[in-house]
Amino acid sequence: MIEISYPWPPRELSPNARCHWAVKSKAAAAYRATGAALTMVALFPVCPDFGDGKIHLFIDFYPPSKRRYDDDNCYSAIKSLRDGIADALGVNDRRFVGHPFLRDEVVKGGDVRIRFTTIGMESSAP
């Protein structure tokens, strides 16, 4: 199992954000690039082989403040991060199975920690 820490998603990527599409697009592109870069740096010495099956992402969200966050909004906000991770791994993000969990612990600036695994988690669903 491999764990990588990523920055909290920009507020423009929240499903509840009301911003211009160009602002959201720029934030999504930057977050995707950040995800790809951090994944490549973290996996460079390891070079894991995820095979052809599903890749399970155990995602822990550590919010930047004590305000109440919705887990489904957090998960939606990291769509471009997941795309960047898929770019770095050279896989289609259809293979990802997300297991999001919103933590109560506050981390300054926020943190998204993702653990990758394929072992023992294969589902029987097509």
Is residue 125 assigned to a domain?
no
Is residue 122 assigned to a domain?
no
Tally of structural domains, the chain:
1
Give Cβ neighbours of residue 84 (< 8 Å, ≥ 6 apart).
31, 32, 33, 34, 35, 36, 37, 39
**pLDDT tens-digit map of 22-70:** 999 999 999 999 999 999 999 887 777 778 889 999 999 999 999 999 9
Is residue 123 assigned to a domain?
no
CATH of the domain at 88: 3.30.1330.70
Range of the domain at 6: 2-117
Is residue 109 assigned to a domain?
yes
The C-alpha angle with vertex 1 and arms to 31 and 47, in degrees rounded to 5, equals 70
Query: pTM for this one?
Result: 0.89
Residues 107, 18: Cα–Cα separation, whole Å: 25
Query: H/E element holding 85?
Result: helix 79-89
